[in-house]
Structure 1
Amino acid sequence: MNTIQPLSRRSFLKGVGVSMALPWLESVPVWGDDKQKNSASEPPVRFACLFSGNGFHSREWWAKGEGKDMQLGKVLDPLLPHRDKVLFLRGLYNQEALIGGIHSCQTGNLLTGAHLSPAGEIKSGVSCDQVVAERMKSQTKVPSLVLGCEPSIAAIHKNYSMIYSSHISWSSPTTPTPLELYPSLAFDRLFRDQVGRADKSVLDAVIEDSNGLRKNISKSDQHRLDEYLSSVREVEQRIDQAGKAGRLQGWRPTLTKPDIPRPADGVPQDIDQHMRLMCDIMVLAFRTDTTRVCTLKLNNDHSSLRFPHLKVDYMIHHLLSHTDGDDWLKVNRFFLQQLAYIADKLDKVQEGERTLLDNSMILYCSSMMTGNHNNDQLPVVMVGRGGGQIKTGRILDYSNKPNRKMCSLYLSMMDKSGVHLDSFGDSKERLAEI
């Protein structure tokens, strides 16, 4: 096997106005020590959090058994193909979210464990994803990718700003990390040096550099590179087509044609298309090592999303969460299908002896257990093995244990990302079992 001299861990395919991070290649130690000469590198651990607001169906968020024999409730059963890589955590909670408010007060400190300021003031803490991003920012092109599928809410609810219900990622105690709602701009941020309307394909811009690289890598790496570039092209083309099919989310207007000028291209009109694009962009971001940290907020707490593709279009998400019926279960499963889709895509990418899913930690959680605002324990599931550091296919029950803080979980996850802190949020203790 021919190998090339070790490249910097921040190696990119270059073109005019474009830089694209390389995927994992066995003959190119992109992520290893720059001094390493002729051995393959160890892929990095990726850290992600997916969030959906308003909790889940009261009778269908459960798990029992272990490994490939694990059984999952109807909300979680989209994860059945990956159950041996699932960690189901029961009984964890966020003490600071019990201070009295609902929705905003249950969401704004979910990843910080900080005390929230009331009366319209904005103050939380730095979230765990941004702590990891800050430590890793010299190693990737983009420190973190913060994606969302629903615009922020500017209002006050129960004496707390609804900015809290719109954000889980915080760059500072007073600054929620801006959500990127536009798939095209998220894509551009990954691959373009200047975010703006593209005048040609990203792949066309780097084709010369990629052809030069092919001459110096193994046959198996050439196959990986071709597969990776094809996946970039697919997402690029889908983004270009987003919204052109004429489908509309929610109600249909009474006019057959708009009576005002058409707005500029932006957010896809259908929530299923929007979420799927964001999932693909997250996978691309991790696959290219453009970033190792991502949060994907599928909706807000107190969400106004509708789901016409599920034929559940008579009630917004927040109100539906109080029904706990079959339609609520449909919506819950739709959200978990996004996690399952990401897991499936990651698990098909081989990185050395492990898959990209094995090299990731994907946390999925909500601000409350059910739509009744109960958050004395939270729905929490993890997928991925953190680079082989996490034993999965298990159920961990903290219901009757003294240490059941969400921030204890974050300390454990940050350890596996190479970020070691004495304390975080309201915890000084890790979850020893993780």
Structure 2
Amino acid sequence: MQNSELSRRTFLRGVGVTMALPWLESRNVWGAESPSTRPASEPPVRLGVLFAGNGFHGKEWWARGEGKSMELGKVLAPLHDFREKMLFIRGLYNEEALKGNIHSSQTGNLLSGAPLASGGDIRSGTSFDQLLAQSYGGSTKVPSLVLGCEQANPAVHKNYSMLYSSHISWTSPTSPTPLELYPSLAFDRLFKDEVLKGDQSVLDAVIADARDFRRDVSLADQRKLDEYLESVREVEQRIDRAGKRGELQGWKPTIDKPNLPRPADGIPQDIAEHMRLMCDIVVLGFQTDATRVTTLKLNNDHSSLRFPQLGVDYMIHHLLSHSDTADWLKVNQLFTSQLAYIARKLDAIQEGERTALDNSMLMFCSSMMSGAHDATQLPVVVVGGGGGKIRGGRVLDYLKSPNRRMCSLYLSMLDKAGLHRDEFGDSKEPLSDV
């Protein structure tokens, strides 16, 4: 309701539903209509954020050139097939991440740019994925899906809570969004309930508000309101009948039920299997339109994961990150391959003239450039077309730009998803090149 034209209107409201009222003689409820930002027949724009803690190999995170000619460092080698749909973004940083300690204060505000409370207290800022989920997540069964492959760490490290190192998604400044670590429970969250929010009657959702409103208008307006609500009901019933006859036109989810079996209970012992199951759930959530916003934390910053399946079982992730070895590169590529896996599956899903990848924004990032704790610039890659609004195959270098805030990137990505903000976090200017 930030738009001045929308703010002049009165709405009936219900869970996940906002319905404008017709013109009435006894109440000034009507204002100018706001034009739709996206035709109803077009697929939605999805946002996926993948996070890998402790940065990457210091000498192998790079990209040069454009399009098919783009060259990639070895960390990004799994993304070779998606160079034309990828932005390699260099030079962005979070100013607040340069304050405080290492690890925790470099991670807890990665998606918000907010200052962090120290002394073991918990206070960050609402992350941009949750801002988007709160804006349009009511149109899906699950407003946002926040997944993790490593349990949160509740300890304190150098005067900052390690919960900052364990959570990048924040529902509010004092509430990190709960992580779902179990693939089976993430699957259940998407599909266990048979009735989705989008399946409920709009009129049923706002009927209580309509009854309250009706008591405050004239008899003539009561009749007008009754006629209006009845017309809404009639249209809903016609749409329902047309859908049952297979006559509905426009975009709809690619599938309406899972096309893969429910994962086994518990947490997989193999981290690669755990990651891959979570990636499948990300794709499935987008493909069924059960959710449009997903965050997947592949590990914590200051991570304790081990990788025996790679022959790298002699050192935990965090310690391994302190040396640019061939084993560290293997681990990096395991993480990058999860992004490539999601991109490949989404790119195989056709949605009209575009693919599901073309209608998505997948951001891959970390809280530092390398295990040397350098947060003066952050590693960032975006894969996907953002609904046809992002031109891939480019390297964008902001290292010497006056506007190189991570929150500027988030403003740009929110705009591509239809949420227009004048400012977010510490930025008031989107990245014009994105």
TM range (shorter): 0.7 to 0.9
1:75/1:332 contact within 8 Å kept: yes
1:62/1:73 contact within 8 Å kept: yes
Distance (whole Å) between structure 1 residues aligned to residue 194 and residue 174 of structure 2: 27
Distance (whole Å) between structure 2 residues aligned to residue 346 and residue 47 of structure 1: 12
Which of 216, 221, 236 is the aligned partner of 2:246? 216
Distance (whole Å) between structure 2 residues aligned to residue 125 and residue 370 of structure 1: 24
Report Cα offsets for 1:23-78 as digits up to 9, x if no partner: xxxxxxxxxx9xx9xx9810000011100000000110000011111110000010
Q: How does 1:176-191 map to 2 (within 5 A)?
A: 176-191=176-191
1:431 aligns with 2:426: no
Matched residue type, 2:80: L
Distance (whole Å) between structure 1 residues aligned to residue 184 and residue 100 of structure 2: 39
Report Cα offsets for 1:107-131 as digits up to 9, x if no partner: 0000010000000000000000000
Distance (whole Å) between structure 1 residues aligned to residue 256 and residue 327 of structure 2: 39
Gaps of 5+ in 2: 1-15, 17-35, 196-241
TM-score by length of 2: 0.78
Matched residue type, 1:329: L
Q: How does 1:39-58 map to 2 (within 5 A)?
A: 41-58=41-58
Find the residue that maps to 2:50 and give its secondary structure: strand
Distance (whole Å) between structure 1 residues aligned to residue 342 and residue 138 of structure 2: 26
1:150 aligns with 2:150: yes
TM-superposed CA distance for 1:213, in Å, is 6.7
Distance (whole Å) between structure 2 residues aligned to residue 426 and residue 124 of structure 1: 13
Matched residue type, 2:157: H
TM-superposed CA distance for 1:233, in Å, is 3.7
TM-superposed CA distance for 1:138, in Å, is 2.2
Q: How does 1:17-416 map to 2 (within 5 A)?
A: 41-193=41-193, 216=246, 228=255, 232-236=258-262, 239=263, 242=264, 265-416=265-416
TM-superposed CA distance for 1:278, in Å, is 0.3
Distance (whole Å) between structure 2 residues aligned to residue 366 and residue 152 of structure 1: 17
TM-superposed CA distance for 1:234, in Å, is 2.1
Matched residue type, 1:305: L
Matched residue type, 1:234: L
Distance (whole Å) between structure 1 residues aligned to residue 362 and residue 247 of structure 2: 31
Matched residue type, 2:369: M
Distance (whole Å) between structure 2 residues aligned to residue 46 and residue 229 of structure 1: 17
Find the residue that maps to 2:74 and give its secondary structure: coil
Distance (whole Å) between structure 2 residues aligned to residue 40 and residue 372 of structure 1: 48
Find the residue that maps to 2:396 and give its secondary structure: strand
Distance (whole Å) between structure 1 residues aligned to residue 243 and residue 85 of structure 2: 34
1:365/1:380 contact within 8 Å kept: yes
1:235/1:277 contact within 8 Å kept: no
Go from structure 1 to structure 2 and tell me whether the alpha carbon gap of 1:43 and 1:322 turns closer, same or farther (over 3 Å shift).
same
Go from structure 1 to structure 2 and tell me whether the alpha carbon gap of 1:68 and 1:217 turns closer, same or farther (over 3 Å shift).
farther
2:365/2:379 contact within 8 Å kept: yes
1:235/1:280 contact within 8 Å kept: no
Distance (whole Å) between structure 1 residues aligned to residue 281 and residue 255 of structure 2: 13
TM-superposed CA distance for 1:229, in Å, is 6.4
- Identical aligned pairs, as a percentage? 66
Find the residue that maps to 1:358 and give its secondary structure: coil
TM-superposed CA distance for 1:282, in Å, is 0.3
Find the residue that maps to 1:340 and give its secondary structure: helix
2:104/2:157 contact within 8 Å kept: yes
Distance (whole Å) between structure 1 residues aligned to residue 243 and residue 183 of structure 2: 29
Go from structure 1 to structure 2 and tell me whether the alpha carbon gap of 1:235 and 1:341 turns closer, same or farther (over 3 Å shift).
farther
Cα RMSD after superposing both structures: 2.6
**Count of aligned pairs between the two proteins:** 356
2:411/2:423 contact within 8 Å kept: yes
Distance (whole Å) between structure 1 residues aligned to residue 106 and residue 322 of structure 2: 16
Q: Radius of gyration: which is bigger?
A: 2
Name the residue aligned to 1:245: none
Distance (whole Å) between structure 2 residues aligned to residue 399 and residue 172 of structure 1: 30
TM-superposed CA distance for 1:268, in Å, is 1.0
Distance (whole Å) between structure 1 residues aligned to residue 126 and residue 40 of structure 2: 35
2:137/2:292 contact within 8 Å kept: no
Matched residue type, 1:216: G
Find the residue that maps to 1:138 and give its secondary structure: helix
Distance (whole Å) between structure 2 residues aligned to residue 137 and residue 167 of structure 1: 20
TM-score by length of 1: 0.78
Matched residue type, 2:145: L
Which runs of at least 4 in structure 1 moved beyond 4 Å after TM superposition?
Answer: 212-215
Distance (whole Å) between structure 2 residues aligned to residue 233 and residue 69 of structure 1: 36
TM-superposed CA distance for 1:192, in Å, is 1.3
Gaps of 5+ in 1: 1-9, 11-32, 196-211, 243-264
Distance (whole Å) between structure 1 residues aligned to residue 386 and residue 426 of structure 2: 24
TM-superposed CA distance for 1:420, in Å, is 1.0
Find the residue that maps to 2:147 and give its secondary structure: strand
Go from structure 1 to structure 2 and tell me whether the alpha carbon gap of 1:330 and 1:214 turns closer, same or farther (over 3 Å shift).
farther
Distance (whole Å) between structure 2 residues aligned to residue 99 and residue 294 of structure 1: 28
Distance (whole Å) between structure 1 residues aligned to residue 185 and residue 359 of structure 2: 26
